[in-house]
Structure 1
Amino acid sequence: MTVSILIFLPVIAALAVLLFKNESAKYAALFFSVVELAIAGVFLAKFVPDATSQFGIDVPWLPQMGIYFKAGIDGISMIMVLLTTVLVPLIILTTYKHQYKNANAFYALILFMQAGMLVVFTALDGFLFYVGWEAALIPIYFICGLWGGENRIRITIKFFIYTFAGSLFMLLGMIFLYLQSPNQTYDIVDLYRGARLATGHSSLIFWAFFIAFAIKMPLFPFHTWQPDTYTEAPSAGTMMLSGIMLKMGVYGVIRWLVPIAPQGVMSWQNVVMGMSVIGIVYASVIAFTQKDGKRLVAYSSIAHVGLIAAGIFAWNSQGLQGAMIQMLSHGINVVGMFFIWDIISRRLGTRTISELGGIAKVAPQFSIAFLIIVLGTVALPLTNGFIGEFLLLNSVYQYNIWFAAVAGLTIIFGAVYMLRMYKNVMQGTTNELTATFTDIHGSEKLALGIICLLIIGLGVYPQPILHISAAAVEHLIYIVKVSR
């Protein structure tokens, strides 16, 4: 059993979903995504949490150009596979109350996007990684462009130009390393060796990869595409972008950037740490001023990603472990938060916070789910957000106490604007608009229930997740240490 089944099943599923019409398309998409989750569960059950790459596939693709279809799963990849396979069925479930024109194409694109992201998270060949990187971009471009809001065309073109331009820098970096590698291949081991041979160009290699990953995350000041895209995209598209796709950039930094350009990272470490910390404060301050709930969550996401980036570039085991579990936690929380605003928008026709209030009085189950997601987002102890942020802040503190002091503001600021948002939306008296709000039921209750269970479960007992990635993280730190 190899990782190829995880990669190709969503492609086959997407083609099959295209054959279904209307309502049946979403049921087929959910079925295939649950099957994919079950297969990921089998991989997890057979996975040995050491530093090796398992369930590998390595077959010639374009061997005359040194390109192989090589992929596998280690502890770091396993976390990302779990993130992807858990969130995709949840995201599909959140769409059940929507009616989409050409629904079969919409759900097929989601499954195609899942396949591309799984290629990114398992690729052990640089060219294959790049193919997956671009393949995941194409479906979300059509999802946003065809089913997005009023300004979807302008916003989607901006998003595409940003991400595609960053990808070209990464491709140039890959080609340069290929030419430097001893065996003239894109194999990840050869690229690591090629980077060591090209130490005089370490800064150029660093920026070639960093720009691509920073745009995707997005990291300040490469973030300007994100709030508009998240706001204009359909809710499922926003969830795919924020819950999973931005983790491609974070994963790229861990798996490719730092091991490939360790000298470049050392040269620019303070600059990137400064960018990350500035992004935390900047996004938090902007979040305070937002009147649209979905846009507030978008800026909150930038702040959280800034902390993850700071923890990674501190480059110690606490930071990497914190980044791994925080990517999983952030994905769950942000999908839950965008689903909350999707429910409010669908029922009331607005996302303006000042027009809401008193919803808890008429929808108690919804208010409890909303509160649990908010508490996970602000990293309350015994919720999933706490352990990741604790480890990340610990790692930044080990690097520089002043960076840690400023980065810690993300917890304070986040608590203030998130709890204030909850108060303004859910507490107080109902008005003519919110008095008509109905409580959650059916697929809404199921999706929010699963999200809340994950938030509490990971918060109470995060050790299994940390155990999965621990050996792979330590091995990666060792590789970088030797390279330096």
Structure 2
Amino acid sequence: MNVTLILILLLVGSFATYLAGDKLASKVALFFSVLALGSSIVLLNHFNAGENISFISQWITQPNISFALKADGLSLAMLLLTTVLTPLIIFSSFGNEYKNSKSFYALILFMAFAMVGTFLAADGLLYYIFWELALIPIYFIALLWGNGDAEDRKKAVVKFFIYTLAGSLFMLVGFVYLYQKAGSLLLDDLYKLQLSDAEQLWIFLGFFLAYAIKIPIIPFHTWQAKVYQKAPTVGTMLLSGIMLKMGLYSIIRWQLPIAPLAAKQYLFIFVGLGIAGVVYGSIVALRQKDLKKLLAYSSLAHVGLIAAATYTLTLDGLRGAVLQMIAHGFVVVGLFFAAEIIFRRYETRIIAEMGGIRTQSPKFTSMFMILVLASVALPSTFNFIGEFTVLYSLFQINIWFAILGGTTIILGAYYMLKMFQHVMLGETNKKVFADVTISEALSMIIIIVVLFFFGMYPKPITDLITPSLENILTIINRN
């Protein structure tokens, strides 16, 4: 199967959605996103059958740049995360009305196109182009369809755009330098480079700045909570569920194999930065009064733990990080969707103005409770598998990393259950909370099924990603 088909479907779908007009835009977008999901599953089957899933063609002669795509177990896992969550996110938006919806849904598909390209790219310049393209649609989605004061929203979104773009320029400089050394930006050629300690350090730092802002890692996190709060919930889902995974994936795919000596030499510093995000995000989440901001800081704590695991340079660390990336993608999308369901009925995101939902909608309360428990890594949920593996990898490096990293479970359980108590329990609210619709319930049930299925049986994903991670570790340890 030609790996470019998924990109073509999403790009054509984006234009078709725009041309379909406002009335049909959401349905056309959902149709093409489901087609992309189906193509991803077919691609996975071809990969499991032993086929080499790649595409390479000369793109630019001078400099020597190729249009190169490659799907191994790692990139397929991220591809499936993107193509499963995209139709779910689109479907979850059907309960809202958007002005100029044809542009809104077209931007969602274009963003999915760029994110898929980032996960599949096997040439440095092509990867950089997809990386930057993903920033454009989320900028307009957050700016034009966001909530709150327009001026405040504009400041937050523009800061995010400039901050992210500026960080990525350092990565581009790194690629320019690597091209001078290798004469190519193909991933396999970059893996073969023998760089000095000093060269690896500067390449590592250039890449780190781009990834640390995107993820985000402390102290490059200042844009995150405000943008998550001000963006429409669909935009927040795209950012937290998929887009931040671009940075985490890129650490494993690009940064560590190209500059492994710097990663080994400064391992404790970068693991420590990830752990700092866990502690900081958890503590700040305790003080939040806005539901979306609380979930934003909770996400910051969880991705800090994932980032720490990637820098352990162990198989358990990389494998746990990928498992937790996927688990986090589903649970955070579910939680933000639950927050959106509440907002549709109460028209507020202030926790103190909620409460009493359990008596009016026991079905929604049960589903929300399951998502909360999955978020705090209840055994039998997907997050438990990821967090246990991540904490075990940290323990292998230093027991204090594991202890501090474990605060995300302890503090997370406290602030998430406290939030659930204030939002869902208590006396019946004066505002009527209509029970969840069939489409709302279906979206949440799909997420819950995924979290429990892979929580009980993660083998399909571990079997998929482990060979790719072992190959990357071989390259890292060769230097």
User: Same fold by TM (over 0.5)?
Assistant: yes
Residues 1:443 and 2:420 are matched in the alignment: no
Residues 1:7 and 2:7 are matched in the alignment: yes
Residues 1:191 and 2:187 are matched in the alignment: no
Describe the SS at the equivalent of 1:54. coil
How many angstroms apart in 1 are the aligned matches of 2:302 and 2:116?
23
CA offset digits 1:314-337 (Å, max 9, x no partner): 111111111111111100000000
How many angstroms apart in 1 are the aligned matches of 2:8 and 2:235?
21
Describe the SS at the equivalent of 2:48. coil
Shift of 1:49: 8.3
* Contact 2:146–2:231 under 8 Å retained in 1: yes
Mapping 1:46-445, distance limit 5 Å: 46-48=46-48, 54-149=52-147, 150=149, 151-181=152-182, 184-194=183-193, 196-433=194-431, 436-445=432-441
* Contact 2:191–2:475 under 8 Å retained in 1: no
* Contact 1:362–1:439 under 8 Å retained in 2: yes
Describe the SS at the equivalent of 1:318. helix
Match in the other structure for 2:21: 21
Aligned residue type for 2:170 = F
Aligned residue type for 1:3 = V
Describe the SS at the equivalent of 1:18. helix
Shift of 1:138: 0.6
* Long gaps (5+) in structure 1: none
Shift of 1:355: 1.3
Residues 1:477 and 2:476 are matched in the alignment: no
How many angstroms apart in 2 are the aligned matches of 1:198 and 1:103?
52
How many angstroms apart in 1 are the aligned matches of 2:238 and 2:37?
16
CA offset digits 1:322-359 (Å, max 9, x no partner): 11111111000000000011111111011111111110
Aligned residue type for 1:443 = S
Higher relative CO (CA 8 A, sep ≥ 6), structure 1 or 2? 1
How many angstroms apart in 1 are the aligned matches of 2:188 and 2:79?
21
Aligned residue type for 2:56 = D
Describe the SS at the equivalent of 1:282. helix
How many angstroms apart in 1 are the aligned matches of 2:96 and 2:196?
52
Shift of 1:155: 0.9
Between the two proteins, what is the percent identity of the paired residues? 47
Describe the SS at the equivalent of 1:380. coil
How many angstroms apart in 2 are the aligned matches of 1:326 and 1:333?
10
How many angstroms apart in 2 are the aligned matches of 1:185 and 1:145?
37
Match in the other structure for 2:30: 30
Match in the other structure for 2:448: 452
Shift of 1:101: 0.7
Structure 2-normalised TM-score? 0.98
Shift of 1:23: 2.8
Aligned residue type for 1:113 = M
How many angstroms apart in 1 are the aligned matches of 2:167 and 2:223?
13
Structure 1-normalised TM-score? 0.97
How many angstroms apart in 1 are the aligned matches of 2:45 and 2:258?
31
How many angstroms apart in 2 are the aligned matches of 1:281 and 1:145?
30
How many angstroms apart in 2 are the aligned matches of 1:394 and 1:86?
29
How many angstroms apart in 2 are the aligned matches of 1:267 and 1:68?
33
Shift of 1:403: 1.0
How many angstroms apart in 2 are the aligned matches of 1:46 and 1:188?
22
* Contact 2:380–2:456 under 8 Å retained in 1: yes
How many angstroms apart in 2 are the aligned matches of 1:2 and 1:63?
23
* Contact 1:49–1:467 under 8 Å retained in 2: no
CA offset digits 1:282-320 (Å, max 9, x no partner): 110000000001100000001000110111111111111
Describe the SS at the equivalent of 1:369. helix
How many angstroms apart in 2 are the aligned matches of 1:371 and 1:21?
38
